[in-house]
Each structure stands twice: as structure tokens, then as C-alpha cells.
């Protein structure tokens, strides 16, 4: 009789989830599933609220990447106002979004994944964490903390606080940048770049130790979705959609952000509270694609800054003539993006009008539907609202970066489990590798728990010994 192995909880990720591995009679992997077990429901309890409240409300979705929701939500509200916001406000929003990317990528690489890479996938789980990392490589651990601090400090200087800043508003931002803050931000960038480049070089030395993981950590053909600039460059704030297939062929290009429903469909499965977006023209689940740093670097023609473009060339050398397919290389792409973010932030802070005090356009609601799209650290984030004549929200839909990767994460853990897990001679390191696949994607699960259609609901009543005595399933 087949057995089920449950990995609960999945450790060193943001949020709560478990993995089930289903074995056949011979102990081989028959199936694998990634279960998001928390439920939020922001789309429903935002209904009835005045739309100007949406940036601050939806930012509460997450304590790790609230800035990403501020950006997407503010852009959706700009659309509702039907205004063009001042250029300086756009650039200041870009600076905060890049700071968010730096701190979030640093958290993922240094704090959550580097213990696997430096201590080993089979090392003692009691020391396979940040404290273990401090013992074997204290400089790298300190670098991670400092790099994250730089990103968080920039967010605080702009928004007044590191978590849930309310500074980004419909029509722009609530206040201009001061000369003192700009000077302080620029002073941190050389140190940040030194850390980013040092880490990038050390990571390239590490990846030679993981040929099996590179081959079997979510390494399969999918499409890639991301934003790009009008010239095909790396983009995190605006631009157009691009979708590229596994052979490098552009499937869909220069798609206006307001037309996302033409290319993205949404599905649900009964075992998870996370949606399964897919490329609509190919149907579900054939329309599988990936988002995030791996997709952004695979899709763009160039980064647009000197050192990041050099790093992009090295990224592309990982798999000549076609997009990089192994999800293990999300780590590589993440480090390239940190370099880009620091360089681009410097350019923006040195731009001539960055201290301009005209940073907000004011208007009443002039549209009854607004769509805002941006690149969060983990991938493309979409906010879509509808309002009534009084500007109250009547309908909201959020498509979260982590959700886009849901099909790929499920397929990735199955591929890793089939290669590494022996159901008859189970060892901890085997299961850690399955978890490590999920860490490559750097999921943010509190963000990704969102409603679409009939959501699954299962309530169990347990007795004092933990036995299930009754249950209700919807």
C-alpha cells in the first residue's frame, strides 16, 4: 500500500506551508504537492472601503514586502484618478521599490538559503541556520545583515518607517526627498555594492559543488513572464509584459499592463489556498510559466547598468543560446539584481530633479476601474480594483508574485523528490533538498493566500489524543 511523507512545516520561508510526497507500493515518488495552509481574504474585506485607503490596507498583506503592494496599489489608484503623476514621484517610487528588492533578496539569499549552500544540504539541521552560518563564515552573515539594513534604511528615510510606510499614495508620494536624506542614501551605496559584488564572486565559486541540485531543482522547460522597458530592458516599476518560451522564443511581447486578463488565467486546486495563474492562450496547466529574478533576467535584453550587465553576461553563460532553466539559479539571478538595484538607485538619486517638491497629482475618482502592475522581488504583482460612484471598492483581485510560480513549485518538488528521495531508506538531507527547491523560489506565502472562486475549506475536530472525530469539507 502506498505511503505519504509529510514535510511540515516547510522551514526558512515566509509564511506557513507543508509538502506531501505520495509514494507507490515500491516506495517510489508517485506525486508531490505544495500546500499553502493559511488563508487571508484581503479581496473580500477591502470591499466597501474608499479606494484611497487601498495602498495602506493592502500593504498589510505582508511584513516582508509591503512596499511592493504599496507600489502596485498606488498605481491602480492612479488609474482610478486618471492622472499622470509627476516624474519625480515616479522616480522616488522606483527608489523605494529598489530598496525593497535589495532587502528582500538579501533576506532570501543570506538568511534563508546560504546555510544550505555553505554548510551543505546534508549538514546537521540544528546548525543549518543563520547562527550556524555565523560560525563558519561570520563575514558573509554580517554582510547579509548590513545589505538588508541598507535597503530598510532607504525605505525608512523615504517613508518614515521600515515596515508598512504610508508615504506612497494615489497620485504620487506624500512628501519630497530632502537633500540630507539623499546624501545619506548615496553614502551607503558604495558599501552595498562592495558587499553585493563580493557575494556574487563567492557564489560563483559555490555553484560547482551542486551539479545534481542544479540538474534536478525545478529544471524543466517553462515559459517566463516579466515586465520589460519599451526598449526590452530590465524593468521593475512599469513597462510592458513579455512572455518567452523555454527555447528563447518571444511568445507575447509589449502587452500593455491593463490587458493582463488577455494573457493570464487563474485556477484553483482543492489542496491549497494559493491560486494557480497560467498563460491563458495555452490553457491550464499547460500554460505554466515562472516569474521573479530568473524570469526577469531571461526575458530582458539588457539590465542597463555597467556592473549588472557584466553579471548578466555571466548569468547567460550558464546555459548558452536559451533561457536558464534551473530554478537553482534563482539565487544567481537574485545576486545580479541586487547589483542592478544599487547601481540604478544611485542613478535615480543623482538625477537633476529628484529633490523637486512637486510629487503628487490630486483628483477625485475619474475611472471606475483601476489596474496597477509592478515587479515585486519575487515576481510580477497585479492589483485590480473596481469602484462605485462614491469611490468605494466593489471588487478587488490580487495576483501575487509567488502565486505565478505555484505550478512550477509543485512540479519542482516532484522532480527533486523523484531524484533524491528514497522512500525505503529515508534520510533528512533528502527531504531538506525538497524544501530547498521551494527556497529557490523565495515564496512569500502570506502575500500569496488569496481568493478566487470557490476556495477549499476543511474543518477537523480532534479529541484529546489527536484523533479526528468529525470533519466538514466544503
Q: Known binding site for Ni(2+): residues?
A: 65, 444
Which residues participate in the annotated binding site for Mg(2+)? 43, 62, 398, 450
C-alpha–C-alpha distance, residues 26 and 1, integer Å: 9
DSSP per-residue codes, 359-376: -B-------SEEEEEEEE
The beta strands (E) that lie in 24-112 are given as 29-36
Q: Can you tell me the distance from the alpha carbon of 67 to that of 343, in angstroms, rounded to the nearest whole number?
A: 20
User: Three-class SS of residue 216?
Assistant: helix
Q: What is the three-class DSSP state of 14?
A: strand
Phi and psi for 412 in degrees, rounded to 5?
A: -70, -45
In terms of Cα–Cα distance, which of 4, 96, 6 is closest to 435?
6
What are φ and ψ of residue 392, in 5° steps? -90, 140
Supply the angle between the helices 330-349 and 428-441 in degrees, to the nearest 10: 30
State the DSSP H helix or E strand holding residue 6, giving kind and residue range, or none if neither. strand 4-7
Are the CB atoms for 136 and 128 separated by under 8 Å? no
Q: How far apart are CA 255 and CA 262, in angstroms?
A: 9
Cα 453 to Cα 143: distance, rounded to the nearest angstrom: 44
Residue 398 phi, psi (nearest 5):
-120, 125
Binding residue positions:
43, 62, 65, 398, 444, 447, 450
Length of the chain: 474
Exposed/middle/buried for 207, CB within 10 Å: 0-12, 13-18, 19+? Answer: middle
Residue 180, number of CB atoms within 10 A of its CB: 9
DSSP summary character for residue 110? I
C-beta contacts of 318-323 below 8 A and 24+ residues apart: 321/248, 322/246, 322/247, 322/248, 323/224, 323/244, 323/246, 323/247, 323/248, 323/298
Q: Are strands 17-23 and 458-462 parallel, antiparallel or unpaired?
A: unpaired
Binding site, annotated residues for Fe cation = 65, 447
**Where are the extended beta strands (E) located within 301-392?**
369-376, 379-387
Give per-residue burial for 126-139: e unless 16+ CB within 10 Å, then b: eebeeebbeeebee
Amino acid at each position: 500500500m502506498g505511503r505519504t511523507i509529510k514535510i511540515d512545516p516547510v522551514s526558512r520561508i515566509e509564511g506557513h506551508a507543508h509538502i506531501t510526497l505520495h509514494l507507490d507500493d515500491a516506495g517510489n515518488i508517485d506525486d508531490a504537492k505544495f500546500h499553502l495552509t493559511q488563508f487571508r481574504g484581503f479581496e473580500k474585506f477591502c470591499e466597501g472601503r474608499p479606494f484611497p485607503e487601498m495602498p495602506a490596507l493592502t500593504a498589510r498583506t505582508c511584513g516582508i514586502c509591503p512596499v511592493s503592494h504599496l507600489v502596485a496599489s498606488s498605481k491602480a489608484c492612479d488609474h482610478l484618478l486618471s492622472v499622470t503623476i509627476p516624474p519625480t514621484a515616479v522616480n522616488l517610487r522606483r527608489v523605494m521599490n529598489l530598496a525593497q528588492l535589495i532587502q528582500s533578496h538579501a533576506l532570501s539569499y543570506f538568511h534563508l538559503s546560504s546555510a544550505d549552500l555553505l554548510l551543505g544540504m546534508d549538514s546537521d539541521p540544528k546548525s543549518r541556520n543563520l547562527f550556524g552560518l555565523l560560525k563558519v563564515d561570520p563575514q558573509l552573515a554580517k554582510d547579509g545583515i548590513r545589505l538588508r539594513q541598507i535597503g530598510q534604511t532607504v525605505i525608512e528615510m523615504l517613508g518614515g518607517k521600515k515596515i508598512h510606510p504610508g508615504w506612497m499614495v494615489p497620485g504620487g508620494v506624500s512628501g519630497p526627498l530632502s537633500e540630507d536624506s539623499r546624501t545619506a542614501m548615496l553614502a551607503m551605496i558604495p558599501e552595498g555594492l562592495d558587499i553585493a559584488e563580493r557575494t556574487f564572486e563567492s557564489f560563483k565559486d559555490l555553484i560547482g559543488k551542486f551539479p545534481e541540485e542544479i540538474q534536478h531543482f525545478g529544471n524543466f522547460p517553462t515559459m517566463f513572464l516579466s515586465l520589460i522597458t519599451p526598449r526590452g530592458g530590465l524593468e521593475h516599476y512599469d513597462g510592458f509584459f513579455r512572455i518567452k518560451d523555454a527555447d528563447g522564443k518571444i511568445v507575447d511581447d509589449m502587452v500593455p499592463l491593463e490587458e493582463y486578463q488577455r494573457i493570464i488565467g487563474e485556477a484553483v486546486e482543492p489542496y491549497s489556498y494559493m491560486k494557480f495563474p497560467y498563460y491563458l492562450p495555452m490553457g491550464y496547466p499547460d500554460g505554466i510559466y515562472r516569474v521573479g529574478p530568473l524570469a526577469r533576467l531571461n526575458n530582458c535584453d539588457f539590465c542597463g547598468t555597467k556592473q549588472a550587465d557584466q553579471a548578466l553576461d555571466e548569468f547567460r553563460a550558464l546555459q548558452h543560446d536559451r533561457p536558464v532553466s534551473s530554478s537553482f539559479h534563482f539565487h544567481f539571478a537574485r545576486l545580479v539584481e541586487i547589483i542592478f538595484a544599487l547601481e540604478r538607485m544611485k542613478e535615480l538619486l543623482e538625477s537633476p530633479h529628484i529633490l523637486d517638491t512637486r510629487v503628487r497629482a490630486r483628483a477625485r475618482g475619474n475611472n471606475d476601474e483601476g489596474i496597477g502592475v509592478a515587479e515585486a522581488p519575487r515576481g510580477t504583482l497585479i492589483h485590480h480594483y473596481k469602484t462605485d460612484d462614491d469611490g468605494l471598492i466593489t471588487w478587488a483581485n490580487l495576483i501575487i508574485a509567488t502565486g505565478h510560480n505555484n505550478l512550477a513549485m509543485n512540479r519542482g518538488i516532484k522532480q527533486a523528490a523523484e531524484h533524491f528521495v528514497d522512500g525505503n531508506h529515508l534520510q533528512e538531507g533528502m527531504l531538506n533538498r525538497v524544501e530547498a527547491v521551494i527556497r529557490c523560489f523565495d515564496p512569500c506565502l502570506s502575500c500569496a493566500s488569496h481568493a478566487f472562486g470557490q476556495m477549499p475549506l476543511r474543518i477537523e475536530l480532534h479529541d484529546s489524543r489527536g484523533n479526528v472525530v468529525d470533519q466538514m469539507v466544503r
